[in-house]
Structure 1
Amino acid sequence: MKKKKRRWPRILFWVFIGVPGIILMLFALLNWVVMPIIARHNKEVTIPNLVGLEKTEAVRTILSAGFKLGDIRTVTDTSFLPNHVVSQYPGAGRMVKPGRAVHLDISRGANRVIIPDIVGMPLAMAIARLEQDHLVVAEIESLRTPNIPPGQVIAIHPNAGTEIALDLPVSLAISTPVGSFPIPNLLGMELETASGIIASQGLILGTVKHAQSEEPVGIVMVQYPEEGMSVREGDTVHLIVASPPLPDSHP
């Protein structure tokens, strides 16, 4: 009769050596293989400072740091040289994951500007918008357009979106009313601007009087006919504009 082999040594081997060994191997695999992959996946890096860099250098810095190049806008900024980074998003010093897109604003320089789209605006609003970009209206042409509200800009030259030097003038074409129409508001405009609007509407500039005021010199303070009153082509418009106040005569 054969003796039964004892299984206790084998069981003890697995309990005290085999199982702990397997656990150690799994721990090592987790620590040396899995965790580094997870850490690399979740690792965040610092966005470099790109403001002031030339465009080509900024793009090279973005790509070499492991980021993607995002949108690039061209803006007018007097404090930066042309083709240099004005601002960035995300900002310098932000912690983000590799592969994040970095967006740039690039200066076109101080002396150039893109003509805004003002077609469809009332003339006064269009001129104010152009003045924001330091553009000068040199000519206003009137075109009779019965199907378009009077005084509305219907064309600009050079075309909207064109990049030009600040000292180049622009010209506008506006719709001219047929028959009677309400006179536009001229208050608060410079005399030269108001005169251009009056002429573009087929009206005649009449008497221009000056009155002492704290308002900037040459600003229209009173108009007649008043805003909204009905006029016809050839009617006369009278203005009162601001002049400097008299100096104080008291010691």
Structure 2
Amino acid sequence: MDRFIEKLKLILRDRRLYIFLGSLIALGLVVALLLDFLIMPTYTNYNEGVTVPDVTKISLDEAAELLDEYGLRHEVLDRRAHSAYPANYIIDQSPSPQQIVKPNRKIYLTVNTAQTPQTVVPDVVNMSLRNAEIQLENHGLTVGTKSYESSRFRNTILRQSVAPGDSVARGTVVNLAVSDGLGSRIVEVPDIVGMRLSEAQQNITRAGLRVGEVRFQPSREYTPNTVISFTPNEEQLTEGESLQLVVAERFDAREESESGAIIDDSTSTSSQNQN
């Protein structure tokens, strides 16, 4: 052990060790500086840039020639039908005009086509809403209305308006039926008879149910705009089910016309008696 320590001390006292280490560090610094100031700038075209020309509203051949003059490459990313452009004209480009890019950068072009391109509708049933939207957009389709229905798994697609596998024009609208996450448990139906309509609606929603059709019925017993009855008249229902309401209105009120104007017969009668 003592001999090892003595040898270590001799090595540490040797000037050649420090000269070697210093040379190694200096070499590393030189290599780093060369990479930073010479090699990498040359490789990445540092301080070189090209202003992207506007190639929209011209033909694909003209666009290809112009981009080549600027030292840029191009690729047709998509083809769409657009009535405002002649066939084979550029509708859109990415990067957009006037942006500064590296030389030899690829510019992606969207080209107009005389015929509307077709696409196959993907099957998005049971997908999450977000994934379904991405799939439809990737196939060149448009997401239409989203209606919500009671089902166990929230934000899951239940149905799509265009059948999977159909070949349709790009841009076709696909409507989606989406699960609201309800329907997985039994809930208590609130006692809403005699409540004002607005209060009853709030209680129904809080219970996890829906307000369905609201029908008005003349009543002498109930105050106008209060709930007379509801269907289905059960104590418990599956979460998300709808209640149809019958709501009281003035017994002596009647519709004067199809516009829905209401007159009070009792007022008319009293006016005639005074005359």
Instruction: Answer whether TM exceeds 0.5 for this pair.
Output: no
When normalised by structure 2's length, the TM-score is 0.33
Return the structure number with greater relative CO, CA threshold 8 A, min gap 6: 1
When normalised by structure 1's length, the TM-score is 0.35
